[in-house]
Structures are given as structure tokens and as C-alpha cells.
Structure 1
Amino acid sequence: MSISDLKHSLRKLEFPACAKEALLKIEQLLVGRVAPTNKQMDAAMEIVSEFVFCEADRRGGRRGGGLNPLQELQLIDIICDYLSACNNETTKNTIFLSLFGGMENQRKLKILCILASMAVSASSTPVLLAVGVWLQQMGCSSPQSLQLIESIIRDHFYLNTTNQVALQSLAGTAPQFVSNFITSVTELYMIDGQNPIKLPPKNLLEVITLWVYTTPTLCTSAHLNAAALPNGAIPMAAVTPFAGLVRWCALAPLYIDRDAEMVEVQVKKIKLEGEKSLKSTTKAQTEWELYMQLQLGVLQSMRAWRRRGPPAALNAQRIAALTHPIREYTQRLKDRGCDIIQDDSLQESLDRIGQAVQVALASGCVYGNINHLLAALDSLPENRLLKIVVKAHQQAI
């Protein structure tokens, strides 16, 4: 069937039937043993614009209005059904990227935000895995990715009504999505230059801490499991959340009150001999304690990297950048006449950096200019652990 015949057959259908059929036609055009031609790709994009999102008329001109709210929900339902029924990861990602790739269009991004949020609510693994690939291909720190992540956070992490059991299970059912999600989240909070510093909501911190602490391989799942992409597509390298999480844990002592409000978290008990199942208890933890637990989870995750691949999980330059906010904090202490050696918050921050750098270098996680990293860390205020780590690795190089 020619491309003009494809479009003619679709024009006989009303929305949402035309959108449902259009996905199958796009699959015919883009999925095959060889990469699609430019003509096929252009035709697929025209079908997406005219019959899926109803943005263009039959001549390619812009159609006013687009989809109304009811039609948006109908389209989301159609996309969910298609992705859930698709058994081939390459086909699924091909169609998803054809629908939402580029994303300069805010109407499409709005629909994607609703789709992703609903997938989180329903723990829809097929949809979330496709969203995870989209995040990676767009770049986890791109404006579009951050807008999507902020939408999910608003919907699921600001209120206590969220089903945290369902959220916690995502680390096992959609690890690539969760890994890229965390990478994007760390680009939103505790960023140097924010005034005032923006801290993650406590519900978000709690869930991320449990994800990382209970699943040591989570942070590298997107990096070590290549996305199934369309023929001819250029794969974008996955960025692990290590750098962002190390920054959170290292800077938290400078911004978090040790006596901050208590939060309720689920803590798994170790299975004892003779017990049939794991029990869980609820323990109150402060945000300070959560960051301590997150620090331990990050260290365990970096240790799990050993023997998994070349040093490509943690950028040395990102860790060296921590020296700037720490110097600023140190200067504020000096301006107040405080003894920086006796400041518990500063020393805790430096301890955590020393722990992270030691484990990362020992596990072969770090790539980039390690000499520059060690020199930057050596310029920080006096801290026994950090000095030992820096000196040991300077001698080893």
C-alpha cells in the first residue's frame, strides 16, 4: 500500500479510531530489517501529526485547537494499550520515540506527562520502560526531561496519599526507568547557585533512599542494559545517578537540621531461619538519617559496579565541582569566627566525600581527569579521612 493510500484509509476513520489504526500504520513504515528511508520517516511523522495528535490537516497545515481533554485521555489509553500489547522492545521504543521524539511541542509534552504519571500510578512496566528510553535519548538533564520529571514529582511525591508500596516496587519492575528518573531528579535539587537551595520533598527522598539502598544494581541498570532502539538510531549514553546522589549526600549536612521532622519509612527485617516470609516494621527516621542511609546505599551501589565494565559510571569533574559550595560554606563559617575543624556539619560533609571517592576509585567507577579531582579535594578544609584518601590515590597514580 502506498503512503497516499495509507493516509486515505485513515481519513475514513474518526478520532480515536484513526489514532489507534495510525499506530499500526506507523509500525509498518518504521519497523523492519533495515532502517526506514527518509521518505518513510517523513510519512510516519505526517501520520503522527494528522491522525494521532490531530495537529495538522490533510495538506500539512496547522489545525487549530488540537485534542480536547477527553480526546487526550482517549489517546493516552490507546497508547497504553498498544505498548502493553507490543512484545518487541525495539518496535515499542520505535513507535514511542516517533510519537514523542523532539518534543519542542508543549501539547505533546503535556500528554506525555499525563501518560507517564498514569503509568507510575498503575505500575505499567511497558510504558515506564519506554519512558525510560525516552529520558535517555532526550538526555536526563534536558529541559523536556526535567519538565516531565517535575510533573511526576508533583503528582506522586508531594502528598502523603501516594501508594509507596507500588512506588517501591518500580525498582524491580522498571529499573531502567527508575535509574534515569533518579538521574533527572538529582538535576533539580541541591544545585549550586540556587538561592535558596531547593531540597527534595521528604516523600521523594524516602522513596529514592529505599530504591537505592535495597537495590544495589539499580543505579547502573540503564547504563549496563542497552536500550532497544530503532534501526539507524543513534544511542545516547546513559548517565548514572551517582554524581547527583553523591552531591546530595555530601551537601545534605550543610543544609539539613539534625533534628528535622520525623518521617515514616518501611524498614525490612532480616529473614530469620524458620520464618516463612519477610516482615516489615515502621520506623521513624529524620531526614538526616535518611541521607545517611542513602549514602550507604550509594556506596553499596558503587561497590556493585566492580567487574561490570570500564570506569564510566561517575564523572570526576562532577565530584570536583563539590568543592565550590563547600568553600562557600567554609567562608561563611570563617566570617562568623567559627572553628571549621570543630564544625560537625562541615566535617560530616567532608567525610562523606572521602567515603564516596575512596569506594568509587577502588571500584573502578570514575572516569575523567582523576588528577584534577584529587587536587581539587586536596584544597578543601582539613579532614582526616579525606586527606588519607587523597594522599593514597595521589601516590598510586
Structure 2
Amino acid sequence: MCNYFQEQTKDSVRQVIFSSLFSPQGNKADDSRMALLGKLVSMAVAVCRVPVLECAAFWLQRTPAVFCVRLARALVDDYCNLVPGSIQTLKQIFTASPRFCCQFITSVTALYDLSSDDLIPPSDLLELIVSWIFEDPRLILITFLNTPIAANLPIGFLELTPLTGLIRWCVKAPLAYKRKKKASLSNGHPPNKIAKDSTSGEDRDCHQLYSKLHLSVLQVLMMLQGHLTEKNLYGRLGLVPFDHVVPLVEDINRLSDELNPLNASKEIELALDRLAQALQVAMASGALLCTRDDLRTVCSRLPHNK
């Protein structure tokens, strides 16, 4: 199958066949279809079959997010969990298919929303995504820049960019990692000194990566005004939807209450600083469409801050 898609010279034929094979039909065959798709895309990553990766990128754009997240999980299992070090193989497709990388990042941020310790992205995956974006921040705009866009996006599909998911990562990370640390200390099995040191070192590296990612996200938001104006979408298309800001504020509230504000004041302050910066730059660039009053109402629910 991998060879067939590689050898098919007509892009339109390739897309139609890929879509007819792997688009969910709402029947019992969907599970088998998804399992086969996971193996095919995983193999295409391993042997760098660009036509398959390009088909998968379009599939991720046109398929309900619930299925996109399943494909992302299959790839993360193959390249982050099964064989240590195999993430390097995934890393190399950055130059081969940036479009696939963009859609992969969007689906991964939908999968890992930091709502629980199980849904914090693995450190290898985080490092991979930050290295891609830091090398070329425009990567996360590829789908947006190359897609004919209507002002209203369909509900239940992946976002046009991973911006909202990446903002969520950067803002929630300080609190989510603090919660994880608190859970490991309170489960009655304090880790030994060596394990504790290696864990704190890994967490420190992750915090630096989130800081780097936050900078890249702000840089991308600053580029957006020109692109939105060029496409005649400035003031008409919110790439950071306001209705995603509301649950993010609620998440910050819930997390800071869980942690006890006195013990997590530094983490709360960092999360709120990142939220304020992201909202300010997103509004200034036209990526976030809302009135100041709307924003004031939502932000009045945040924990006390400077």
C-alpha cells in the first residue's frame, strides 16, 4: 500500500483513493480502518514516504478530531513509547513534509490537553515539537496559509492552526507539572534520591522547553496580522477562538485551587503572565476577536494576581 501511494503520479487520484480507504464511515469497520491507517502512516514516517505523509496531512484536515487524536496516539506510541530513541526518525520528517508536521502538532495538542497527569505530553515529544517550531515558527501556519478559508470553521474538526493548543500547553504547564509533583509526593511512596534528582532535572528541562515554545507562539501571533490582512480575513476570522479562552481560564482556576495558592504562587504567576501575554498579542494581531468587556468578564474569574 505504501508503494502504491508512492508510485501513483497523479496527486488528485492519490487523495481520492486515500480518502475513500480511510475516511470514517460510522460503521464497525472504522476500528480496522484506523488500525491500518496508523500502521501505514507510521511506516511512511519510518521510510520517509512523502506522498503518504501529504495524504495523511489532508486526511487530518478533513476528518473529525476524535479520529485525528487516535492517529496521533498511534504515532506517539510507536515513536515515543515502544522503542527508546526512535523519536529521531520522526524528527527527520520536518523537511520532508512540513504540512504533515503542522497537522501532527495540531492533533497532538488536542490529544494532550494537560487536564490530568496522563495527558501531559511525553518529554521527548515536547522536545521534538519545540525543536520544529523554534527552527521555523511559520510551520504552525502552513495549513492556514495553504487552505481556502471560509470565515466559519466546521465544528468537531481540528483547528486551522495548533495555536490554541500550544497556548494551552504554555499557560497550563507550570500548574500541571506542580500538580504532578504534588501527586508523586503524596502517594505514600517518596522516590529515592537518584530517581528524584533525575525527575527534577527532566522537569527543569521541560520548563525551559515551554518557555522557548511560549516565545515562538508569541512570534507567530505577531506575524499573523499581515497574513490575515492579505487573505482579507482580518477582523473576520479568529484563529484563537474566544470560546477556547473561557475553558482555559476555568482550568487555571481549578488547578490553582487544587494546588493551594500559597504553595504555588510562583507557578500561578507564571501561568497568568503567559496567559496575559498571549491574549494581548493575539488581540493586537487580530487572531483573538473579542471586546475588552468580554475579556474583562472572563479574566475577573482568575486567581488574585498583580
Do Structure 1 and Structure 2 share a fold, with TM-score over 0.5?
Answer: yes
Structure 1 match to 2:185: none
Shift of 1:133: 0.7
Q: Which structure's relative contact order is higher, taking Cα pairs within 8 Å and 6+ residues apart?
A: 2
Q: Aligned-pair distance for 1:261?
A: 4.4
Contact 1:317 1:373 (8 Å CA) reproduced: no
Q: Deviations over 1:210-250 (max 9, x none)?
A: 112211111111122128xxxxxxxx785211111111110
Q: Give the CA deviation at 1:89.
A: 2.8
Q: Residue in 2 aligned with 1:299? A: 218
Does the CA contact (< 8 Å) of 1:295 and 1:352 recur in 2?
yes
Aligned CA RMSD, in angstroms, stands at: 2.6
Find 1:162's aligned residue among 49, 72, 86.
Answer: 86
Cα distance in 2, alignment partners of residues 122 and 303 from structure 1? 36
2:106·2:159 contact (CA, 8 Å) conserved in 1?
no
Q: Aligned to 1:137, which of 62, 73, 77?
A: 62
Whether the 8 Å contact between 1:223 and 1:238 is mirrored in structure 2 is: no
Letter in 2 for 1:167: L
Task: Give the 5 Å matches for 1:12-51.
Answer: none
Which of 259, 266, 269 in structure 2 is aligned with 1:344?
A: 266
Cα distance, 1:162–1:237 mapped onto 2, change above 3 Å: closer
Between Structure 1 and Structure 2, how many residues are aligned? 269
Q: Distance in 1 between matches of 2:251 and 2:159?
A: 26
The within-5 A match list for 1:188-267 is: 188-192=111-115, 194=116, 196=117, 198-226=119-147, 239-256=160-177, 260-262=199-201
Structure 2 counterpart of 1:111? 36
Matches within 5 A, 1:39-78: none
Give, in whole Å, the separation in 1 of the partners of 2:289 and 2:4: 40
Matched, 1:324 2:245: no
Alpha-carbon distance between aligned partners in 1 of 2:22 and 2:166, rounded to the nearest angstrom: 28
**Aligned equivalents of 2:95 and 2:291: distance in 1?**
34
**CA-CA distance at 1:190 after TM superposition:** 3.0
Separation in structure 2 between the aligned mates of residue 134 and residue 241 of structure 1, nearest angstrom:
16
Determine if contact 1:222/1:238 at 8 Å carries over to the other structure: no
Q: 1:174 to 1:285 in 2, by over 3 A?
A: farther
Q: 1:121 aligns with which of 27, 40, 46?
A: 46
Give me the TM-score of the superposition, normalised by structure 1: 0.62
Contact 1:171 1:218 in 2 (8 A): no
Rounded to whole Å, the distance in 2 between the matches of 1:359 and 1:172 is 29
Gap change, CA 1:224 and 1:370, over 3 Å in 2: farther
The letter for the 2-side match of 1:152 is: L
Quick one: which amino acid aligns to residue 379 of structure 1?
A: R
Q: CA separation in 1, counterparts of 2:164 and 2:247? A: 10
1:330-386 alpha-carbon deviations (Å, 9 max, x no partner): 3335xx5x548x8100000000101111121122212467753442123312334xx
Classify 1:369/1:204 alpha carbon distance in 2 versus 1 (closer, same or farther; 3 Å): farther
Q: Distance in 1 between matches of 2:78 and 2:295?
A: 38
Unaligned runs of 5+ in 2: 149-156, 182-196
- Aligned-residue sequence identity (percent) comes to 30
Are the counterparts in 1 of residues 87 and 124 from structure 2 also a CA contact under 8 Å? no
Structural mapping, 1:347-358, within 5 Å: 347-358=269-280
C-alpha change, 1:354 and 1:91, in structure 2 (3 Å) is same
TM-superposed CA distance for 1:172, in Å, is: 3.0
Separation of aligned partners in 2, 1:209 and 1:374: 31
Q: Give the aligned partner of residue 94 of structure 1.
A: 16
Report the CA distance between 1:108 and its aligned residue.
1.9
From the superposition, tell whether residues 368 and 290 of structure 1 become closer, same or farther in structure 2 (CA, over 3 Å): same
Q: Does residue 1:172 correspond to 2:91, yes or no?
A: no
- For 1:240, the aligned partner's letter is T
Query: Structure 2 CA distance, aligned partners of 1:214 and 1:370?
Result: 34
1:313–1:365 Cα contact (<8 Å) kept: yes
Q: Compared with structure 1, are the counterparts of its residues 213 and 383 closer, same or farther at alpha carbon in structure 2 (3 Å cutoff)? A: farther
SS at structure 2 position matched to 1:305:
helix
Q: Give the TM-score normalised by the residue count of structure 2.
A: 0.79
Letter of the 1:330 counterpart: S
Aligned residues of 2:133 and 2:139 also touching (Cα < 8 A):
yes
Q: Check the 8 A contact 1:179/1:241 in 2, yes or no.
A: yes
